[in-house]
A and B are shown apart, each in its own frame.
Chain A
Amino acid sequence: GQQVMQIPQYQHVQEGEDFTTYCNSSTTLSNIQWYKQRPGGHPVFLIQLVKSGEVKKQKRLTFQFGEAKKNSSLHITATQTTDVGTYFCAGKDGNKLVFGAGTILRVKS
C-alpha cells in the first residue's frame, strides 16, 4: 500500500527562525493535505493541494506540491510560539488518507 514518509521527525527552532517539513510518497498522489495538531489537541485541517507544482500561501505558511506529485513541503517563515505543534501530511489512497508520522515543532522564545 501507499506509504507517506515525513521528515524531520522533530525540530526545535529559535523564535523568528524559519521551519520546513517535507513529505514523500512511494506513489503518485491525487492530492495531499496538511494538518496541524497542537499539544494535547486534535488534528486540524490546514490545506489541500491538488495540482502538480502547486504553491499555496496562508500568511507565514507556504505549501508546495511537487511536479511529480510524489512530494510536498510546508515552510513557515519567522516562526512564532503559536506555531508549536505537530504537522502532518496526508495523501489520498483510494477512499482513505494515509498520514505521515508528523514533524514536531518546538519554538524557543
Chain B
Amino acid sequence: DGGITQSPKYLFRKEGQNVTLSCEQNLNHDAMYWYRQDPGQGLRLIYYSQIVNDFQKGDIAEGYSVSREKKESFPLTVTSAQKNPTAFYLCASSIGTGGEQFFGPGTRLTVL
C-alpha cells in the first residue's frame, strides 16, 4: 500500500521537552509539508521541503525544526521554544510543489 504514515497518533510531553514527530511516505513524492491545526481552525504551514536536503520555513516556523535527509522521511521537532505546542500536526506530500497533497493521519500532541 502506498501512503503517508505518521507516528505516534497521540503524544504527551511535559512542558520544556523537545519532541520529534515522524512522517514517512512511500509515494515517491518530492515535496513534503508540515501543518498545524488548532480546534476549529484551518491548516497553517510550518515547514515544507521541495527536495532532499532542502526545506523552507512556512508561516509559523518559530519553535519548530525539520530535516530532510531522505526522500521518504520528513521529521518535525517541536522544541521547548514553541510557546503553545498543543495541537494536531499533519504531514503531507505531493508530486511537485503546489499540487494535490496527500495527508497522513496526523499526530495529536498534548503538552502538559
Q: Which residues of A contact B (CB under 8 A)?
A: 1, 6, 9, 30-31, 33, 35, 41-45, 48, 88, 92, 94-102, 104
Whether A94 contacts B42 in the complex (CB less than 8 A), given A42-B103, A43-B90, comes out as no
Q: Mark B45-76, 1 if CB is under 8 A from A, else 0.
A: 10010100000101100000000000000000
Whether A45 contacts B106 in the complex (CB less than 8 A), given A88-B43, A95-B50, A102-B42, comes out as no
A43/B45 in contact, CB under 8 A: no
A42/B105 in contact, CB under 8 A: yes
A35 to B44, CA, bound (A): 15
Q: Which residues of B contact A (CB under 8 A)?
A: 31, 33, 35, 40-45, 48, 50, 56, 58-59, 90, 92, 97-106
B40/A95 in contact, CB under 8 A: no
A31 to B90, CA, bound (A): 22
Q: Which residue of A lies closest to B105 (CB)?
A: A42
Whether A96 contacts B42 in the complex (CB less than 8 A), given A42-B90, A42-B105, comes out as no
Name which of B42, B45, B58, B102 has the most chain A CB atoms within 10 A of its CB.
Answer: B42
A95/B42 in contact, CB under 8 A: no
B103/A96 in contact, CB under 8 A: no
